[in-house]
Structures are given as C-alpha cells and as structure tokens.
Structure 1
Amino acid sequence: MPDDKASILIQLDVDPQPSVFDAVVAVDARVDHLFRHGDVTPENVQDLVYGALFTRGPSDLHRTALFVGGSDVAKAEAVLEAIKKTFFGAFRVSVLFDANGSNTTAAAAVLAARSSLGGSLEGARAVVLAATGPVGQRVARLLGRQGATVAVGSRDANRSGKLAERLAATTGARYDAFSNADPDDLSRTLESAALIVAAGPEGARLLSAPQWQGLGRLRVVVDLNAVPPSGVEGVEPTDKNVDKGGVRAWGALGVGGLKMKIHKRAVQELFGSNDKVLDAEEVLELGRDLA
C-alpha cells in the first residue's frame, strides 16, 4: 500500500509567537502541513500531543511529528520532558528539539571544527567560551562525546565548575573549568588549546586578537556570534574555514550554512518512523556527511 498520508509537523513554541524562522525551514523541508502553537507549557502541552496521537492509527503516526522550539531553552526542555511522558505504547510520534537553534547550531559548530581538524576530534584539546549558555553546553557535550578533552568557561567560575562535573558524569569525557573573567586563568587555558569555540551572546566580545593569534597549538577557532562586535576579534561572520595565520577560522554565517542543512534534514528525518527523539547527539549524527 502506498504511503498517501500527508506529513504534518506541529510546531510547539514556548514563546507567545511561534518562530517564523523555524516555520520557514519546515516549509523548505517540504512538510505538507504546519500547525503552529505559541505559549506552550508543560501544563498545557498534553492535550496538544493527544490531538496528534489520536487522529491517526498507529500505522500512520510516522506521518505526524512535533517540533519543540522557542527562545527560552530551559522552558522548552521542560516541555520536551512533558511530551515524552505523554507517549504510551504505540501512541507516540517523533520529536525534534531545537529551541533557540541550540542543537543544530552546536552540531554544525562541532562538525565544522572536526572537518578543519582532519576529520577527528579524538584527543584534541578544546576550549569553549561562554560554555554555560544553551549552545555552549551542547557544544561542550558533543565535543566530549567526539573524544575531545574540553575546558568550559564562564564569567562565574562556580557555574563552569558545576557544568564540568555534570558533563563529565554524562559523557565520561574529561572536562576542566575556568573563568572567562580571570585573564590569567583564561591565558593558561588557551595555551594548550587546539580548538576554541566562542558561544557567547550576541554582540559580546569574548576574545581579543592578541589573546588567540600566535597560540602555538591552536588550529581552529569558531565564533558563533554574528552581531558586531564579533565574539572573537579577527574572525569575520562570513569566515568559512579561512586560514588566519595558520589557524582555520569559522564565523557564525560560515557555520550557519551547515546549520541550515542539518535543520532541514532533521525535519525530514522525523517522518521515517514515529519513535525518534532528535536531541543534540542525534542531530549531529544526521549532519555527519554534510560538513
């Protein structure tokens, strides 16, 4: 029998107005129908999920999927957990989590860096600036799972220390903590870095040119901030594996092209079965051959 059911993506956004960006990607991924809901919470999401589960038989549920998004990643994570608790037996649909673009951006950054390091991160020393933010946490997590040893930084040393402990327990990889705000601590950490990823907020300068140019072991620098001033001085948003004095540089727009390809593929992947939950690790796997 041909699979003639239309594909339906239900966009569940924690913001009052669902993201237009995410809606456009869904359309470009050739979803047949897109239903958009804003102000989604763990308390009100159950009935929305039930609407997805009980309108089609179990054999057709692979043609319905959920996308969880919004600017507040912590709120969206709570919604995702509530969704997973709603599923039972054969009554489940696939879900993509990409609140604030955190998973697709992190996956693209890690895959871009890996390509510039010869295709492997095994044993590489990576430094993640602003690692306690949503994207930074996921970048650090994925780097550890790829075999890198990772130093995670924050202005608050206590926060970066807690993150390092949590990530080490989750991944089994080695994580160290440092303070972005302490120049000496930052300098010592950067000396051993083969890879630097700046994952700070828009318009926040995290690293000056003298702080990274000339580092003997540095091979790749990735800046995920597209809004001036750049997060890493000397890296342009459009840089895409550009040689900067022996260091390969990636800017936010350079990484963004790969991010968009991964995002589109992840949406398409939802309709292969009804039992996928695509979080950071799964999204990275989908992008392996796109980098």
Structure 2
Amino acid sequence: MKRILLQLDSDSHPSSFDAVTAIDGGVDQLLPYGNVSAVNVVSLVQGAMFTRSPKDLHNTAIFLGGSNVEAGESLMKRIQEQFFGPIRVSVMMDSNGCNTTASAAVIYSQSHMKLEKAQAVVLGGTGPVGRRVARLLALQGSRVRVVSRQLERAQQVCRTIDGKTGLFEPAALNDEVPIDDLIADAEIIVAAGAAGVEFCKLENLRKFKKLQVVIDLNAVSPLGIEGIESSDKARKVDHLICYGAVGVGGLKMRLHHQMISKLFESNDQIFDTNAIFEAGLKLL
C-alpha cells in the first residue's frame, strides 16, 4: 500500500521546499493543497481518515506547512478535533520550518555547552522560529532573554510560552537600550530575526568572555550577526563557536526527512515542537 502524504498549506501555492523534502523523506504519493483554512480543512482530513481501514491508516499522514505559523497552529488543533477512536492519522506541523529549524539550533547548542542554568539571549525572539528556540532552551533549563524591537511584543511572547517558570525575561532593543546591555551576561546567543535585520557584529561579541555559542539563523544578506557566514558550522572565532543558517540547515533537513518517514510508523502520532526536538536529539 502506498504511503500518502497530504501537504496542507495556508498559502496560495503549496511550498515547493516542503514538497521536495516530503518526496526525499520517502513519500510515495504527495497530495498538495493550498489556501487551506479552518473551514475547508475538515473535508480534507475526513477524506484522509475514511478512505482506508484503521489497520491501514498508518499509510496516510498529514504535513502542515505554509509561511503563517499561527495559521498552522490553528489548523493543527482543528485537524485533531476530527479524530476519534482508531480513526485518525499522524500529523506533523512545521510551518515556515519553525520547529525543525529551532530544534536543530538548540541541539547544536547543547552539543557544545551545558544549557541548564545557562543565560541565553534570543534576538528576534518574538518571531515563529525565535519563540520556539526560546521555549526549547527553557525546557533544557536555560534562562532566556527574549529580545524584540517592542517590549510589549516580547512580554506577550514570554507570557504565551510560559508565564510561570521565571525562566523568561522580555527585553527591547532600541535606541535607548544598546545591544551590549542585553548580551553582556549571555552564554549563548541565537539570532532569529526577519530577513535583512542586523542586530550586531561578531567582532563586538568577541569581547564577551562568558559567551560560548553564537548562532545566526538568517540565510539572507545582511545576516543578523555581521561576521557570521551562512555556512559556518562550529567555526571557532577566539573563544566563540559560530553557526550560520546553512550550517544549522544540514541537521534541520536530516530531521525533517526523518520526521516525514516516522509519520508512517503508526497512525496516532502528533509531531509538534517538543516531539520534533526529542527526535532530533537522537541524530547527533
């Protein structure tokens, strides 16, 4: 029986990146759908659920993509509402590559330093990837400073992720608060801002002796941290270990391929941020 993957995308055109990755992950038949909403997703999911017997449903799965991560999260919830008893299929949510990218960044960080009680700074921490990096770092026991241009946005994200542990600190980067004040005590910095936003220079970071790992997840020039190269993969600059987007991307792609394959192991799996991260830990 063929392994069928429904690629559900909130954008008009389903992502070619996600389609190629799905095929490379071992999918026999890819069914891509664009403009998927909370309304029309119901019939798509029911079509996947009711066309095969329960014992064969592990051969059908759903991948949620698209550039709008909030839409992806809403669709994830709506899809799960359709399941009952053994009538269900496995689902992976990775809109805008948010979960696989964040997981790869934190896994690489953990390979170089102990994250428990470490001071982390996530620049651009209110974006889809940044907030997942922040959450995963906190789950490893790091204290996480979530940095945004607007303090209100940083505060909102910290409350949304977890307002009770005390591991999250919102902060604003603006003309009144220089970057040095926000990173002086950092042991790890992850830049996850929008394309074209430069936060700081690698040359300046070399003076911070507590800093160990620097990761820039922006692949589009100008990068978030000037002096980082996209291809950097554990490049040493004095005492700093540096990663660029392409350097992180190798693990991200391996993880993406593996999760697509794992979707077909059973029909009851939900691959969200935490599940994808846990799977990625086994790849290094």
TM-score, scaled relative to structure 1: 0.94
Indicate which of 107, 131, 135 corresponds to 2:129. Answer: 135
Among 168, 180, 183, the residue aligned to 1:187:
180
1:83 aligns to 2:76 (yes or no): no
Q: Secondary structure at the match of 2:153?
A: helix
Aligned to 1:289: 282
Aligned equivalent of 2:194: 201
Q: Is the 1:153–1:180 Cα contact (8 Å) retained in structure 2?
A: yes
Separation (CA, whole Å) in 1 of partners of 2:276 and 2:175: 34
- The answer for the alignment partner of 2:213 in structure 1 is 220
- State the match for 1:114 in structure 2: 110
Classify 1:11/1:236 alpha carbon distance in 2 versus 1 (closer, same or farther; 3 Å). Answer: same
| Matched position secondary structure for 1:126 | strand
User: How many positions carry a matched residue from both structures?
Assistant: 284
Question: Does 2:47 correspond to 1:60?
Answer: no
Name the residue aligned to 1:164. 158
Code of the residue aligned with 2:172 in structure 1: it is S
SS at match of 2:5: strand
Give the secondary-structure state (helix, strand or coil) at the position aligned to 2:110: helix
User: Which piece of structure 1 moves more, 194-203 or 160-169?
Assistant: 160-169
Per-residue deviation, 1:173: 5.5
Partner of 1:177: 170
**Matched residue, 2:95:** 99
Residue-by-residue CA offset, 1:10-50 (whole Å, 9 max, x unaligned): 10001111011111111111111111111100010000000
Counterpart Cα distance in 1 of 2:186 and 2:225: 15
Q: Residue 273 of structure 2 corresponds to which residue in structure 1?
A: 280
Task: Give distance in 1, aligned partners of 2:266 and 2:166.
Answer: 31
- Does residue 36 of structure 2 align to residue 72 of structure 1? no
**Is the 8 Å Cα contact of residues 130 and 180 (structure 1) preserved in structure 2?**
no
Matched, 1:261 2:257: no
2:140 matched residue in structure 1 = 146
Measure the CA separation in 2 of the matches of 1:219 and 1:242: 12
**4+ long deviations beyond 4 Å:** none
Deviates more, 1:77-86 or 1:175-184: 175-184
1:284 Cα offset (Å): 0.7
Question: What runs of 5+ residues in structure 1 fail to find an aligned partner?
Answer: none
The CA RMSD measured in Å over matched residues stands at 1.3
Letter in 2 for 1:271: F
Moved more, 69-78 or 246-255: 69-78
Task: Report sequence identity in percent.
Answer: 44
CA distance in 2, matches of 1:30, 1:173: 42
State the shift of 1:202 in Å: 1.3
Aligned 8 A contact 1:147 1:173 in 2: no
Task: Give the distance between the partners of 2:202 and 2:236, measured in 1 at CA.
Answer: 15
Q: Return the match for 1:31 from 2, 8, 27.
A: 27
Q: What is the CA–CA distance in structure 2 between the aligned matches of 1:277 and 1:212, rounded to whole Å?
A: 39
Are the equivalent residues in 2 in contact too, given 1:108–1:258 (CA < 8 A)? yes
* Structure 2 residue matching 1:86: 3-state secondary structure: coil
- Change in CA separation of 1:233 and 1:183 when aligned onto 2, cut-off 3 Å: farther
